A = this chain, B = another copy of it.
Amino acid sequence: MKRSDRLIGMTQYILENPMQLISLPYFSERFNAAKSSISEDLTIMNQMFQQEGIGYLESISGAAGGVRYIPQFNEESSEAFVEQLCRRLEDPERILPGGYLFMSDILGEPNTVRTIGRLFASNFASLGIEAVVTVATKGIPIAYAVASFLNVPVVIVRRDPKITEGSTVSINYVSGSSRKIQSMVLTKRSLEQGTTVCIIDDFMKAGGTIDGMKSLLREFDVNVAAIGVLAEAEDEEEDRVVDQYTSLVQISNFDVRNKRIEVKKGNYFK
């Protein structure tokens, strides 16, 4: 196989399998080329990935070695993406009663969701995360996007137990902003003890839901290494029950009456 063909095939394979260690012999056999040629291909690819701002290839030497694609998103592209997101979210038409913002259209765009996932994955790539946990339903697409770049499974906490799930563990928690008691459940067989996870959600006000998830996850003895939320309501900062988290955008000065709102970059960029 010619180098040009091989580069196309290898690029495709590597992009589809982020964070996964791929041995040189695997490529060597799959594309019928000497290991030295494969090595050269990977060097070119690594340079090009960095130039394009989509990450880099990590080389692991030794018998069990190989190469691993670490997805990243360069700062310039990340900031440009989030700035644009802020401008879209500031549209007064998005303001809904109760201090909420209509985001379903944006969260319905696979490309946007994928980029959001790439940003969190870039940030969490070194934390050894083994699963992404989210709560139904709006956080689900973002959680899958993060998980696809981290190459780990998604675990979904539900607000109502489903008959199709088998036995579950459930907790009650107090919603931070509405002060209502709510419950959430997680299927017993969905998480093993000792797993390292990150929590992903779309929106955080006072943080009651995320705090509830943390309590629930404690029952499973898992380690929460990171929390990522797409948007946080800055006005709720005083009452916040969660302190360690990463947000992409911050929403403030929510003025339902005058249909005004301010959206700026979140603490991701700090």
Contact = CB atoms under 8 A, between A and B. Distances in A.
Interface string A242-260: 0000000000000000000
B141 A158 contact: no
* Residue of A8, A54, A108 ringed by the most chain B CB atoms within 10 A: A8
Nearest to A187: B104
B12 A52 contact: yes
A8 B11 contact: yes
A164 B98 contact: yes
Contacts of A22: none
A5 B44 contact: yes
Contacts of A44: 4-5, 8
Contacts of A101: 164
A86 interface: no
Contacts of A15: 12, 15
Contact of A7 (B4, B51, B52, B165): B4
A17 B110 CA distance: 11
A140 B153 CA distance: 15
A170 interface: no
Given A5-B48, A16-B111, 8 more contacts: A7-B11, A11-B11, A17-B111, A105-B153, A110-B154, A111-B148, A141-B141, A144-B144
A108 B155 contact: yes
Interface in A93-127: 96-98, 100-102, 104-105, 108-111, 113-114
Closest 6 CB pairs of A and B: A110-B148, A100-B164, A108-B153, A8-B48, A11-B11, A136-B137
Given A11-B8, A12-B54, A15-B12, A154 B141 contact: yes
Contacts of A108: 153-156, 190
A207 to B, nearest CB: 16
A104 B12 contact: no
Given A136-B137, A148-B110, A164 B96 contact: yes
A147 interface: yes
Interface in A65-109: 96-98, 100-102, 104-105, 108-109
Contacts of A3: 4
A15 B220 CA distance: 38
